Amino acid sequence: VQLAVAGYRVGIHYHSNRGAAEETLRLLARDEHVLLAADLSVAEGAAILAEAALRELGGRIDVLINNAGVYLETPLLEEIKLEDWQASVRAQMQVNFFAGAELACLLAPGMAEGRWGRIIQIASRSGLQGEGRFSGYSASKAAQIAFTKSLARELAASGIGCFSVAPGWVATDMSAEAIARDGEAIRAGIPAGRVATPEDIAQLVGYLVTPAADYLTGNTIDVNGASYLR
Protein backbone atom coordinates (compact mmCIF):
# COMPACT_ATOMS: atom_id res chain seq x y z
CA VAL A 1 0.00 0.00 0.00
CA GLN A 2 2.86 2.39 0.82
CA LEU A 3 4.32 1.86 -2.65
CA ALA A 4 0.97 2.45 -4.34
CA VAL A 5 0.51 5.68 -2.40
CA ALA A 6 3.98 6.76 -3.59
CA GLY A 7 2.84 6.26 -7.20
CA TYR A 8 4.32 2.86 -8.03
CA ARG A 9 2.56 0.15 -9.97
CA VAL A 10 2.67 -2.81 -7.62
CA GLY A 11 2.99 -6.52 -8.36
CA ILE A 12 1.70 -8.61 -5.46
CA HIS A 13 3.25 -12.05 -5.31
CA TYR A 14 1.40 -15.00 -3.86
CA HIS A 15 1.75 -18.77 -3.87
CA SER A 16 -1.19 -20.53 -2.23
CA ASN A 17 -3.16 -17.71 -0.58
CA ARG A 18 -4.72 -15.94 -3.54
CA GLY A 19 -7.54 -14.63 -1.35
CA ALA A 20 -5.16 -12.58 0.81
CA ALA A 21 -3.43 -11.24 -2.30
CA GLU A 22 -6.78 -10.22 -3.78
CA GLU A 23 -7.68 -8.43 -0.55
CA THR A 24 -4.41 -6.48 -0.73
CA LEU A 25 -5.15 -5.66 -4.36
CA ARG A 26 -8.55 -4.25 -3.35
CA LEU A 27 -6.86 -2.00 -0.79
CA LEU A 28 -4.74 -0.47 -3.54
CA ALA A 29 -7.93 0.66 -5.30
CA ARG A 30 -6.48 1.19 -8.76
CA ASP A 31 -6.55 -1.03 -11.83
CA GLU A 32 -2.87 -0.92 -12.79
CA HIS A 33 -1.68 -3.16 -9.95
CA VAL A 34 -1.37 -6.90 -10.61
CA LEU A 35 -1.23 -10.29 -8.92
CA LEU A 36 1.75 -12.53 -9.64
CA ALA A 37 1.61 -16.25 -8.86
CA ALA A 38 4.78 -18.27 -8.27
CA ASP A 39 6.04 -21.03 -5.99
CA LEU A 40 9.34 -19.83 -4.54
CA SER A 41 9.96 -23.15 -2.81
CA VAL A 42 11.08 -24.68 -6.11
CA ALA A 43 14.28 -23.87 -7.98
CA GLU A 44 12.57 -22.30 -11.00
CA GLY A 45 10.17 -20.18 -8.93
CA ALA A 46 12.19 -16.96 -8.90
CA ALA A 47 12.70 -17.01 -12.67
CA ILE A 48 8.97 -17.58 -13.22
CA LEU A 49 8.12 -14.68 -10.92
CA ALA A 50 10.66 -12.33 -12.50
CA GLU A 51 9.40 -13.13 -15.99
CA ALA A 52 5.79 -12.51 -14.97
CA ALA A 53 6.65 -9.26 -13.20
CA LEU A 54 8.56 -7.89 -16.17
CA ARG A 55 5.76 -8.89 -18.54
CA GLU A 56 2.94 -7.43 -16.45
CA LEU A 57 4.69 -4.29 -15.20
CA GLY A 58 6.19 -2.82 -18.32
CA GLY A 59 9.56 -4.48 -18.76
CA ARG A 60 11.49 -3.08 -15.81
CA ILE A 61 11.17 -3.34 -12.04
CA ASP A 62 12.42 -0.37 -10.01
CA VAL A 63 11.76 -1.75 -6.52
CA LEU A 64 12.13 -5.34 -5.33
CA ILE A 65 10.94 -6.23 -1.83
CA ASN A 66 11.74 -9.78 -0.77
CA ASN A 67 9.37 -10.68 2.05
CA ALA A 68 8.38 -14.28 1.33
CA GLY A 69 9.38 -16.52 4.19
CA VAL A 70 9.02 -19.81 6.02
CA TYR A 71 9.74 -20.38 9.72
CA LEU A 72 10.51 -23.96 10.72
CA GLU A 73 12.08 -25.54 13.79
CA THR A 74 15.44 -27.27 13.38
CA PRO A 75 16.29 -28.57 16.88
CA LEU A 76 19.64 -30.23 17.40
CA LEU A 77 19.23 -32.07 20.70
CA GLU A 78 16.06 -33.98 19.93
CA GLU A 79 15.71 -37.24 18.09
CA ILE A 80 15.58 -36.13 14.48
CA LYS A 81 16.83 -37.78 11.34
CA LEU A 82 19.65 -35.93 9.62
CA GLU A 83 17.77 -35.97 6.33
CA ASP A 84 14.75 -34.33 8.00
CA TRP A 85 16.95 -31.62 9.51
CA GLN A 86 18.60 -31.07 6.13
CA ALA A 87 15.24 -30.85 4.37
CA SER A 88 14.00 -28.23 6.82
CA VAL A 89 17.12 -26.08 6.49
CA ARG A 90 17.13 -26.37 2.71
CA ALA A 91 13.46 -25.42 2.47
CA GLN A 92 14.11 -22.27 4.49
CA MET A 93 17.24 -21.36 2.56
CA GLN A 94 15.36 -21.79 -0.71
CA VAL A 95 12.44 -19.50 0.14
CA ASN A 96 14.09 -17.09 2.57
CA PHE A 97 17.41 -16.63 0.78
CA PHE A 98 17.89 -18.19 -2.65
CA ALA A 99 14.61 -17.05 -4.21
CA GLY A 100 15.14 -13.43 -3.19
CA ALA A 101 18.81 -13.47 -4.18
CA GLU A 102 17.90 -14.88 -7.59
CA LEU A 103 15.23 -12.21 -8.07
CA ALA A 104 17.83 -9.56 -7.29
CA CYS A 105 20.21 -11.06 -9.86
CA LEU A 106 17.47 -11.15 -12.49
CA LEU A 107 16.10 -7.65 -11.89
CA ALA A 108 19.19 -5.60 -10.95
CA PRO A 109 20.40 -5.18 -14.56
CA GLY A 110 17.19 -3.34 -15.46
CA MET A 111 17.55 -1.10 -12.43
CA ALA A 112 21.15 -0.34 -13.40
CA GLU A 113 20.05 0.54 -16.92
CA GLY A 114 17.66 3.09 -15.45
CA ARG A 115 20.33 4.32 -12.99
CA TRP A 116 18.00 3.87 -10.02
CA GLY A 117 16.46 1.08 -8.00
CA ARG A 118 15.82 -0.48 -4.63
CA ILE A 119 16.41 -4.04 -3.40
CA ILE A 120 14.96 -4.54 0.07
CA GLN A 121 15.23 -7.77 2.03
CA ILE A 122 12.81 -8.36 4.88
CA ALA A 123 15.26 -10.24 7.09
CA SER A 124 14.86 -10.80 10.83
CA ARG A 125 16.32 -10.11 14.24
CA SER A 126 17.08 -13.84 14.22
CA GLY A 127 19.65 -13.28 11.50
CA LEU A 128 21.57 -11.00 13.86
CA GLN A 129 21.25 -12.59 17.30
CA GLY A 130 20.37 -16.20 16.43
CA GLU A 131 17.43 -18.18 17.79
CA GLY A 132 17.55 -21.49 19.63
CA ARG A 133 15.76 -24.36 17.86
CA PHE A 134 15.52 -22.24 14.71
CA SER A 135 19.11 -22.35 13.46
CA GLY A 136 18.02 -22.95 9.87
CA TYR A 137 15.75 -19.92 9.88
CA SER A 138 18.40 -17.76 11.53
CA ALA A 139 21.02 -18.88 9.00
CA SER A 140 18.74 -18.02 6.09
CA LYS A 141 18.13 -14.55 7.49
CA ALA A 142 21.83 -13.97 8.18
CA ALA A 143 22.47 -14.92 4.56
CA GLN A 144 19.98 -12.27 3.43
CA ILE A 145 21.77 -9.63 5.46
CA ALA A 146 25.26 -10.55 4.23
CA PHE A 147 24.04 -10.74 0.63
CA THR A 148 22.52 -7.28 0.92
CA LYS A 149 25.77 -5.77 2.18
CA SER A 150 27.65 -7.20 -0.78
CA LEU A 151 24.96 -6.06 -3.23
CA ALA A 152 25.09 -2.55 -1.81
CA ARG A 153 28.82 -2.29 -2.43
CA GLU A 154 28.48 -3.70 -5.93
CA LEU A 155 25.44 -1.71 -7.07
CA ALA A 156 25.79 1.69 -5.38
CA ALA A 157 27.57 3.21 -8.37
CA SER A 158 24.59 2.20 -10.52
CA GLY A 159 22.15 4.12 -8.33
CA ILE A 160 20.67 1.03 -6.68
CA GLY A 161 20.05 1.16 -2.95
CA CYS A 162 20.10 -2.15 -1.06
CA PHE A 163 18.71 -2.55 2.45
CA SER A 164 17.86 -5.24 4.98
CA VAL A 165 15.00 -4.70 7.39
CA ALA A 166 15.34 -6.84 10.52
CA PRO A 167 12.06 -7.04 12.44
CA GLY A 168 11.52 -8.81 15.71
CA TRP A 169 8.11 -10.38 16.24
CA VAL A 170 5.50 -9.19 13.75
CA ALA A 171 1.81 -10.09 13.80
CA THR A 172 1.63 -12.04 10.54
CA ASP A 173 0.19 -15.36 9.43
CA MET A 174 3.66 -16.92 9.70
CA SER A 175 4.02 -16.01 13.38
CA ALA A 176 0.36 -16.28 14.43
CA GLU A 177 0.64 -19.74 15.99
CA ALA A 178 3.71 -18.87 18.06
CA ILE A 179 2.22 -15.56 19.22
CA ALA A 180 -1.05 -17.25 20.17
CA ARG A 181 0.84 -19.87 22.17
CA ASP A 182 3.59 -17.75 23.75
CA GLY A 183 2.27 -14.21 23.38
CA GLU A 184 2.65 -13.22 27.02
CA ALA A 185 6.30 -14.27 27.14
CA ILE A 186 7.00 -12.71 23.75
CA ARG A 187 5.56 -9.35 24.79
CA ALA A 188 7.41 -9.50 28.11
CA GLY A 189 10.68 -9.56 26.17
CA ILE A 190 9.83 -6.44 24.18
CA PRO A 191 10.34 -3.14 26.05
CA ALA A 192 7.78 -1.49 23.75
CA GLY A 193 5.22 -3.92 25.17
CA ARG A 194 3.77 -5.20 21.91
CA VAL A 195 4.65 -7.11 18.78
CA ALA A 196 5.06 -5.10 15.59
CA THR A 197 2.27 -4.72 13.09
CA PRO A 198 2.81 -5.12 9.35
CA GLU A 199 2.19 -1.37 9.11
CA ASP A 200 5.25 -0.71 11.30
CA ILE A 201 7.39 -2.46 8.69
CA ALA A 202 5.57 -0.95 5.73
CA GLN A 203 6.13 2.60 6.98
CA LEU A 204 9.88 2.00 7.06
CA VAL A 205 9.89 0.42 3.61
CA GLY A 206 7.93 3.42 2.34
CA TYR A 207 10.80 5.63 3.50
CA LEU A 208 13.53 3.40 2.06
CA VAL A 209 12.14 3.74 -1.47
CA THR A 210 12.47 7.54 -1.34
CA PRO A 211 15.57 9.48 -2.45
CA ALA A 212 16.05 10.53 1.19
CA ALA A 213 17.34 7.01 1.90
CA ASP A 214 19.94 6.95 -0.89
CA TYR A 215 22.96 7.25 1.40
CA LEU A 216 21.71 4.57 3.79
CA THR A 217 22.42 1.84 1.26
CA GLY A 218 23.95 -1.32 2.73
CA ASN A 219 22.44 -0.87 6.16
CA THR A 220 20.39 -3.30 8.22
CA ILE A 221 17.59 -1.45 9.99
CA ASP A 222 16.28 -3.02 13.20
CA VAL A 223 12.53 -2.81 13.92
CA ASN A 224 12.02 -4.66 17.18
CA GLY A 225 10.68 -2.38 19.92
CA ALA A 226 14.11 -2.31 21.65
CA SER A 227 14.09 -6.09 22.17
CA TYR A 228 17.52 -6.37 20.54
CA LEU A 229 20.02 -3.52 20.43
CA ARG A 230 23.50 -3.53 18.91
CA distance 171 to 179: 8
Q: Dihedral of CA 32/33/35/36: which sign?
A: positive
In DSSP terms, 149 is beta-bridged to none
CA distance 192 to 223: 11
Q: Which of 137, 207, 215, 228 is catalytic?
A: 137
215 classed as catalytic:
no
Residue 208: C-alpha distances to residues 1, 213, 220 (Å): 14, 5, 11
Element (H, E) at 85: helix 82-92
CA distance 164 to 222: 9
CA distance 65 to 75: 30
User: Could you give the residue numbers annotated as active site?
Assistant: 137
